[in-house]
Structure 1
Amino acid sequence: MITKINIEADLAKYIFQDLSKYKLTMGLLLLNVILALAVVHWAQLNRQMVIQQDVLLQQRDDIDLRWRHLLLEQRALAEHSRVEQIARERLAMDRPTTEAEVVVTLP
């Protein structure tokens, strides 16, 4: 009479014999699985880097826009008419007349 334990032992023995017969095939199968997992891993890393690059490009664009606004503000604040108006109002300065001009020459 064949027992359940005997059948399981025989089954395991047959499985290992079959695996040892096809070592190359099993090795290639295992290599395929490992390579497939590596491809999935690298694809995920690539996606994360692309997302990070998009975030950095957006930050660069925002900084560039702020820089342009600062340049416009600087130009507006440095206009001659504005500087002249501040000199008149705050410092009580006036443009010199031709009689009040003094020309300095070096000997």
Structure 2
Amino acid sequence: MTRFLLAVVILACVVTAIGVVHARHQHRLLFVELTRLENARDELNIEFGRLQLEQATWAESNRIDQVARERLGMQFPETADIVVIRP
């Protein structure tokens, strides 16, 4: 009976040790994945900042005015061409 109880305790210790090793291994794998995802997030945040800056540059009123004049041939109407409609 004592030997059986000792065998059960030893088996329980081995199973517990294997469980701890497995849990540590999973922890390491998940930590590596977390680090990779954080790096990807940081890269995306940097790219987003660059895109916001580019959007702000392209949306400046003087840039829009320049494109409208050069590419589209647009211009401000002359005073004589302005018609005011009153209700």
The corresponding residue for 2:57 is 76
Look up the SS of the partner of 1:88 in the other structure. Answer: helix
Residues 1:54 and 2:50 are matched in the alignment: no
Aligned-partner Cα distance in 2 for 1:63–1:104: 50
Aligned-partner Cα distance in 2 for 1:72–1:104: 40
1:40-79 alpha-carbon deviations (Å, 9 max, x no partner): 1111001100110110111111111111111111110111
In structure 1, the gaps of 5 or more residues are 1-19
Aligned residues: 87
TM-score (norm 1): 0.72
List, as ranges, runs of 4+ consecutive aligned residues in structure 1 with deviation greater than 3 Å: none
Computing the radius of gyration over CA atoms, which structure comes out larger, 1 or 2? 1
TM-score (norm 2): 0.86
In structure 2, the gaps of 5 or more residues are none
RMSD: 1.6
Q: Which moved more, 1:75-84 or 1:95-104?
A: 95-104
What percent identity do the matched residue pairs reach? Answer: 34
Give the structure, 1 or 2, with the largest relative contact order (CA under 8 Å, sep 6 or more). 2
